């Protein structure tokens, strides 16, 4: 793996994926600048436009082409966001299952064909059967007894004196990645993982997945007047991180699918839309793939304090841009940094971490730091008294999106036209 990363890919996995896309082997979707959860920013369309525009602009710089698809962070959909995607030339997105099945009128084919929003953006729905079979740690493949146990690491299994040279200087036990046990079952007495057995299970599960999809497609094809599509999105961290054998499973799956092309084949969403350009039009339902399927994770009693500050900051950013339409020099730098601080504060991960109770203090500090930096920059811009040394310091710490991003916060500004 090290040689592949260093020699074959020259330490640049992004360009490796770009090459695969140029060969037509994969389709890479754009996404929001900082994984902002759109339903909670809906009161400020300008903030969402900026998230979309920065994300798509960065995508184009990296991959050398405009994106056709857009991944909504956490599959978070609210009415009207499809129009904002359309303004930026986006052709399709993906929703959680009930975002499609609860649409009005009811989709004729459920989640097994896309539906078009009134804006013209196509929406694909996540297939619950295939998702559950892979994603669920209890009922899905990752929980099999022969797979490596994620939660047992030598950092907690071995004597601290033995581990001391390899631990955090403060002596804190942190995961090393060396995990010798297998899932075994619902017991604390874990057995040693046998890689050969785990690999065989991955091969068996790949065959199982294909068998079930063939049965599913066979049934759907008998009641549909077009070829059904099964959309099965997963968090990338499932493969190799939570489920160590996940990449092995994918390897077997892709190779096995290639041998059953008469009944099942892999396809990109753009390819499907090229084949079926006319789709049912419906109004989608607000939804997400978070707990309970809506906004609970990102808006609850633990984290609701965040949003008034984000909304106020977004409104102030619009005013700053309007009052400095042709900014240059130090003011331009400050406006761009203010935009960076704002989009970093909008990242949905902070609210998620607070809600889950895992790293509450850290997430709270990061949120407040971003907002306080933004407010300080805003006041300095308004007063024409920018502290250049301090600005340089925070620019060096957080220089994400090293291009002029402030312009995308202009109120009522539209992105590229759909025909662009």
Residue 358 has pLDDT above 60, yes or no: yes
- pLDDT for res 414: 60
Answer yes or no: do 44 and 116 share one domain: yes
What is the pLDDT, as a whole number, of residue 418? 36
Give the model's pLDDT for residue 170. Answer: 81
Where does 59-189 show beta strands of DSSP type E? Answer: 69-71, 92-95, 115-116, 122-125
In-domain check, residue 177: no
pLDDT confidence tier of residue 167, bands split at 50, 70 and 90: confident
Percent of the chain with pLDDT over 90: 89
pLDDT tens-place string over residues 256-277: 999 988 899 999 999 999 999 9
Q: What is the pLDDT, as a whole number, of residue 139?
A: 81
Mean of pLDDT values over 152-172: 88
Handedness of CA 103, 109, 110, 116 (dihedral sign): negative
Which of 139, 273, 156, 276 has the alpha carbon at shortest distance from 208?
Answer: 139
Annotated active-site residue in 10, 60, 235, 274: 235
Domain end residue (candidates: 233, 263, 293): 293
Q: Is residue 387 part of a domain?
A: yes
Percent over 70 (pLDDT), the chain = 98
Give domain status of residue 390, yes or no: yes
Average pLDDT of span 385-414: 91
65 inside domain: yes
Q: 412 pLDDT band (50/70/90 cuts)?
A: low
Q: Is 74 a catalytic residue?
A: yes
Could you say which of 57, 74, 82, 318 is catalytic? 74
The answer on 313 and 289 residing in a single domain is no
**Region of residue 169 (phi > 0: left; psi between -120 and 50: alpha; otherwise: beta):** alpha
Residues 29 and 105 grouped into a single domain:
yes
Q: What is the span of the domain harbouring residue 323?
A: 306-409
346-356 pLDDT, tens digit per residue, is: 999 999 999 99
Domain of 348, CATH number, reads: 1.20.1430.10
In a domain, 186, yes or no: no
Residue of 177, 129, 131, 138 whose CA lies nearest to 155: 177
Average the pLDDT over 45-74 and give the result.
97
| Relative orientation angle of helices 306-323 and 45-63, to the nearest 10 degrees | 70
Cα–Cα distance between 1 and 187 in angstroms, integer? 33
Given a cut of 90, whether residue 135 has pLDDT beyond it is: no
Question: What pLDDT does residue 124 have?
Answer: 98
Same domain, 49 and 91: yes
Residue ending a domain, among 235, 264, 293, is 293
Residue 10 in any domain: the answer is no
* C-beta atoms surrounding 420 within 10 Å: 8
Q: How many domains does the chain have?
A: 2
Task: Please report which confidence band the pLDDT of residue 416 belongs to, taking 50, 70 and 90 as the band edges.
Answer: very low
Look at residue 395 and tell me if it is in a domain. yes
286 and 345 fall within a common domain? no
* Tokens 């969403």 found at: 269
24 shares its domain with 122: yes
- With bands split at pLDDT 50, 70 and 90, how would you rate the model's confidence at 413? low
Note whether residue 241 is domain-resident. Answer: no
- pLDDT tens, residue by residue, 188-212: 999 999 999 999 999 999 999 999 9
Is there a catalytic annotation at residue 245? no
- Per-residue confidence (pLDDT) for residue 420, from 0 to 100: 33
| 321 lies in the same domain as 285 | no
Output 373 or 138, whichever has higher pLDDT.
373
pLDDT, mean of residues 213-231: 96
Boundary of a domain, candidates 237, 260, 293: 293
Looking at the fold, whether 63 and 107 belong to one and the same domain comes out as yes
* Over residues 91-111, mean pLDDT: 98
318 with 401, same domain: the answer is yes
How are the residues of the chain apportioned to helix, strand and coil, as percentages rounded to the nearest 5? 50, 5, 45
Predicted model pTM: 0.93
**Mean pLDDT of all residues in the chain?**
94
CATH code of residue 92: 3.20.20.370
Q: How many CB atoms lie within 10 A of CB 398?
A: 14
Confidence grade of residue 411 (pLDDT, cut at 50, 70, 90): confident
Same domain, 284 and 374: no
């Amino acid at each position: 793996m090290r040689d592949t990363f260093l020699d074959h890919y020259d330490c640049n996995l992004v360009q490796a994926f770009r090459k695969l896309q140029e060969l037509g082997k994969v389709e890479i979707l754009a996404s929001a600048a900082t994984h902002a959860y759109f339903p909670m920013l809906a009161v400020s369309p300008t903030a969402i436009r900026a998230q979309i525009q920065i994300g798509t602009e960065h995508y184009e710089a990296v991959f050398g082409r405009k994106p056709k698809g857009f991944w909504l962070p956490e599959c978070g959909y609210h009415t009207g966001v499809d129009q904002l995607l359309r303004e930026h030339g986006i052709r399709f997105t993906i929703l959680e299952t009930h975002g499609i099945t609860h649409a009005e009128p009811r989709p004729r084919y459920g989640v097994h064909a896309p539906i078009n929003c009134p804006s013209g953006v196509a929406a694909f729905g996540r297939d619950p059967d295939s998702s559950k079979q892979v994603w669920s740690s209890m009922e899905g493949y990752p929980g099999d007894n022969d797979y490596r146990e994620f939660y047992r690491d030598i950092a907690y299994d071995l004597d601290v004196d033995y581990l001391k040279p390899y631990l955090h200087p403060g002596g804190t036990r942190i995961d090393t990645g060396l995990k010798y046990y297998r899932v075994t079952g619902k017991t604390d007495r874990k057995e040693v993982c046998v890689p050969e057995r785990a690999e065989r299970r991955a091969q068996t599960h790949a065959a199982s997945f294909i068998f079930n999809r063939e049965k599913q497609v066979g049934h759907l094809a008998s009641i549909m007047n077009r070829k059904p599509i099964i959309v099965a999105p997963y968090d990338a961290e499932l493969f190799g991180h939570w489920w160590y054998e996940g990449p092995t499973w994918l390897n077997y799956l892709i190779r096995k699918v290639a041998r059953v092309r008469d009944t099942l084949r892999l396809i990109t969403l753009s390819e499907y839309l090229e084949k079926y350009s006319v789709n049912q039009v419906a109004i989608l339902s607000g939804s997400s793939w978070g707990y309970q399927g809506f906004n609970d994770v990102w808006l609850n009693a633990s984290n609701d304090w965040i949003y008034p500050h984000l909304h106020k900051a977004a409104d102030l950013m619009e005013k700053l841009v309007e009052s400095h339409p042709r900014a240059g020099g130090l003011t331009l730098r400050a406006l761009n940094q203010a935009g960076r601080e704002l989009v970093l504060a909008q990242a949905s991960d902070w609210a998620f971490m607070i809600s889950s109770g895992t790293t509450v203090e850290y997430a709270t500090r990061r949120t407040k730091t971003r907002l306080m930096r933004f407010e300080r920059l805003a006041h300095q811009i308004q007063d024409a008294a920018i502290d250049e040394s301090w600005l340089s310091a925070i620019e060096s710490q957080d220089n994400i999106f090293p291009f002029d991003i402030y312009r995308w916060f202009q109120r009522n500004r539209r992105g590229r036209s759909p025909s662009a």
